[in-house]
Structure 1
């Protein structure tokens, strides 16, 4: 049976792909976005779809609609964007969670929070398991995002305990793919743009810090599976690719795939940048029957193709 589904942050990189999947299976989708980092271009091709509706709205303010499910993705997710206005970032995470949880409580909707691996901070255990409480700096330049998302998780579980709300929480690890913002400062988009433009590839530190990169299709599949689990499964559950790569190895692979003549340029490591990031996905495998299927090389080829076309249409200055 078709569901009425609200996706906040729906015009963003992940939100737009999630909406496509929901529409493909016959659901009605209300996309809510204030276009701080999302863009109308990401959902323009859906505007004529009879099950799709777009609303410009900031989740820091209450919303009154009738829905069966809520995917709460609203929040800038890259350091450049969330550090641009850190107070607003915290408000989006915390006030946004309060408003969406209030809506879910009023209409008895099931609600999923798109949390983040950043709740683990610079982890003292590796790989990261959901039971790990994290090692987070509460007053650093990344804290608006890290602590905002941690507080949102707190709110979700308090609403669950206090109001018996049906909640789902996923912790998203590094994700990449077409429709990433070309100037979001994330490592995959940064490296691809620099390589395609023949610029030096900027690497912080010695490039020995590791990340795990999950292709967008795998990530969306994990979120939908989590939403569709029985009520007793609340999470948090890690969603990400456990394949671990150094930043330097990623840069070298992108140079090879683009055929670029770019060189590696090393810069000082930013404050609070975690050295290791790798999800333990045993819970996702056991409870969701989920694991990523797209290898890094295959996903990078598709992402490079997207950015090549984008740069031809809209050159960056």
Structure 2
């Protein structure tokens, strides 16, 4: 498969993770030379160079960045409960700063980092709140009350600082729940029985294959600056019409437009127009009547 990434060395941190392993495989299939930075041994990694180390370590990251042209930073503690509050926050923010600062100082021109839908704070918020409006977009007001969401918000600030300081372009993806088709199907089965749990994320999701494709475009699209992008499948992971879901579970939240069928209530315009990304793998769900 011909690609502008062919022959270019790409560092993927967190390469043994769910998105990292899919991304390493996808980039290698495109002809990229993949350096995998991982904190665990994994013989299945699709990479021609593997560095076992810690993204918080200056020495480990420096070693991983040798001869690298592009960076994909995915390493993180992915949930508020993935350690103590201190461990989650410090691991995420130090790792992102370390990777982007070193890459920027080396003159590397482009990095993609994993932010999260949680950067706007509402999904993990312990208070009884809903989004300020639908569709969710990159300008939505934030309300952060947990350390994981704070770390992702901080990662986006770090991206902007790195671009301003060193001129490294940074694409930050606000990923929703990303998983394999079978896991996503099980999640949708749960929302069939009780859909209220998905309202804060707009019932959004993304297949790991689409996440890897988004990262490819983040590395190759004509783009300058540091910007966060929401990415998701075009449809929701609940088998009900979006308007019916919002009527039932967010009746007082303003809607900036109407939604057709199971259309995800998230504005994906920026990712489509700037990066050319559109998800290709969607759940094949019926549109059922939502009983009140």
Q: TM-score, normalised by structure 1?
A: 0.67
Residue of structure 1 in register with 2:273 after alignment? 286
Rate the CA distance shift 1:15–1:189 in 2: closer, same or farther, 3 A: farther
Structure 2 partner of 1:264? none
Q: Are 2:136 and 1:135 aligned?
A: no
Equivalent of 1:152, from 148, 152, 155?
155
- 5+ residue gaps in structure 1? 138-142, 181-187, 196-200, 251-276, 299-317
Displacement of 1:106 in angstroms is: 2.6
Contact (CA 8 Å) 1:74, 1:92: kept in 2 or not? Answer: no
Could you tell me which residue of structure 2 aligns to residue 8 of structure 1? 13
Structure 1 residues 213 and 107, CA gap change in structure 2 (3 angstroms): same
Asked if 1:226 is matched to 2:218, the reply is yes
Q: How does 1:1-317 map to 2 (within 5 A)?
A: 1-35=6-40, 40=42, 44=44, 46=46, 52-62=48-58, 63-64=61-62, 65-66=65-66, 67-80=68-81, 82=82, 84-109=83-108, 110-122=110-122, 123-137=131-145, 143-177=146-180, 188=184, 206-210=194-198, 211-232=203-224, 234-246=226-238, 278-297=265-284
Query: Structure 1 residues 178 and 44, CA, compared in 2 at 3 Å: closer, same or farther?
Result: farther
Q: CA deviation at 1:45?
A: 5.8
Tell whether the 8 Å contact from 2:13 to 2:36 is kept in structure 1 after alignment.
yes
SS at 1:150 equivalent:
helix
Alignment partners' CA distance in 2, 1:135 and 1:244: 23
> Aligned to 1:112, what secondary structure does the other structure show?
strand
Shift of 1:168: 1.8
Q: CA RMSD in A?
A: 2.7
- Name the CA distance, whole Å, in 1 between partners of 2:75 and 2:90: 11
Q: CA, structure 1 residues 118+69, in 2 after alignment: closer, same or farther (shift >3 Å)?
A: same
Three-state SS of the structure 2 residue aligned to 1:44 is coil
Unaligned stretches of 5+ in structure 2?
1-5, 123-130, 241-263, 286-292
Q: How far is the alpha carbon of 1:97 from its aligned partner?
A: 1.1
* CA separation of 1:113 and 1:21: change in aligned 2, threshold 3 A: same
SS of the counterpart of 2:138? coil
Moved over 6 A (4+): none
Aligned residue pairs: how many?
Answer: 238
Is this contact kept in 2: 1:173–1:241, CA < 8 A? no
Shift of 1:178: 6.6
Q: For the residues of structure 2 that align with 1:135 and 1:79, how far apart are their CA atoms?
A: 15
Q: Secondary structure at the match of 1:95?
A: helix
